[in-house]
Amino acid sequence: MGSLAGGDGGGRTLADYLIGNDPAPIEHHWNVMQQFGHFRGAAIGGAISAVDVALWDIKGQALGVPIHGSLGGPVRRSARLYAHVKAATPAGMVDGCLRLKKRGLTAIGLLNPFLDEDAAAPHFKATAARIADAVSLLREIRAAVGDEIDLCVEIHRRLTPPEAIAFAHEIAPLRSMFYEDPIPPESLDAMAMVAERIPIPIATGERLTSLWDFQALVARRGAQFLRTCVGMCGGITGTRKIAALAEAHNLQIVPHNPMSPVSLYACLQIAASAPNVPIVEFPCAATETGWTLPGMEFADRLPRRVEGFAEIPTDPGLGIKLRRETALAAKPHHRDIAMRPYRDGFVVNH
């Protein structure tokens, strides 16, 4: 095992370390990648996560079993899904929710009641009016979809702590499943302060990059649903460790999944093997003829879905294969730096 940990950590890449090594000892590789350098963060966490998911896929295919078969699973045959609604108007939000209900979903997320308006238009609205309008919209949505649909209320970090507390008390009678990122999540103490003062459960964590970040959040009682990002917090190995931490504290995890079918299948493997995964993010938009998912062109399938649940994959490894030619021909995606301005010239968090 000593040869696996080789290198002095200076100027080496993960590829330099991994190529030619035995892929089987995943836990050992995970620890080497976590500990060889001085720095942490989203970029390094994303690289480690991608490698870790690939190593689990290799192991599953070598053994002829799905990843969850090596993790003690499955604990369930299918995973409940919630899909996204985004709109610039209240009518658009209501229509989108009804469309997903018609498609069989039993939960709806990315439900930003403060709307996704024109990012180029300067923003201003008095606090009382902002909260009143958002409360009115959520009441309209609840009346439209009924109590058989869970609402996963996503705020996208739009509020200050006092606003988040006031808004949560206003919407408590609507029985949302969770209240995601009501404030910017960088301060775990501020999130914990909000959580202590409201009657609905908080979901947060998609920006956290390690087991130790989540330990600090849990120690502060800052959330009831941990939003682990399998693509950033250490892959399947890291997510399973966080799921065990959450289980020990009677908390749930809801894997953050805004990305491709590969991420979706990784989340389904987690849902199959961890008992405390009540629901999985399904980042698809419903169209007139089916579903659209970022990166669909790179993969050979989406999971079979029945009445708002996705079947747990049973093929070896992740259960999905990449279209190699399409992936190799793809060009890098560049995201321009732009933020919506307030009327006073500052920027809106989004």
* pLDDT tens for the 350 residues of the chain, in order: 444 444 444 446 888 999 999 999 999 999 999 998 888 889 999 999 999 999 999 999 999 999 999 999 899 999 999 998 989 999 999 999 999 999 999 999 977 899 887 888 888 889 999 999 999 999 999 999 999 999 999 999 999 999 999 999 999 999 999 999 999 999 999 999 999 999 999 999 999 999 999 999 999 999 999 999 999 999 999 999 999 999 999 999 999 998 789 999 999 999 999 999 999 999 877 666 667 788 888 888 888 888 899 999 999 999 998 888 887 888 888 888 888 898 999 988 77
256 - beta bridge partners? 229
Q: Are residues 138 and 41 in the same domain?
A: no
pLDDT of residue 287: 67
Q: Which CATH number fits the domain that encloses residue 28?
A: 3.30.390.10
Q: Are residues 151 and 292 in the same domain?
A: yes
- 109 and 213 housed in the same domain: yes
Q: Could you tell me if 294 and 180 lie in one domain?
A: yes
On whether both 224 and 306 belong to a single domain, the answer is yes
* 0.95 exceeded by pTM: no
Q: Does residue 292 sit in the same domain as residue 150?
A: yes
- Tell me which of 68, 84, 108 is where a domain ends: 68
Residues 96 and 130 in one domain: yes
Residue 132 located in a structural domain: yes
Give a yes or no: residue 318 inside a domain: no
Per-residue pLDDT, 185: 93
- The per-residue pLDDT for 337 is 87
- Would you say residue 344 lies in a domain? no
Q: Are residues 209 and 281 both part of a single domain?
A: yes
Looking at the fold, whether 139 and 221 belong to one and the same domain comes out as yes
Q: What is the pLDDT of residue 289?
A: 63
Summarize pLDDT for 47-76 with one digit per residue, the tens: 999 999 999 999 999 999 999 999 998 999
264 within some domain: yes
Which tens digit of pLDDT belongs to each residue from 336-348?
Answer: 888 889 899 998 8
Q: What is the pLDDT of residue 40?
A: 84
Residue 325 resides in a domain: no
Give residue 50's domain range: 6-68
Residues 144 and 159 in one domain: yes
Same domain, 128 and 55: no
How many structural domains does the chain have? 2
**Together in a domain, 62 and 80:** no
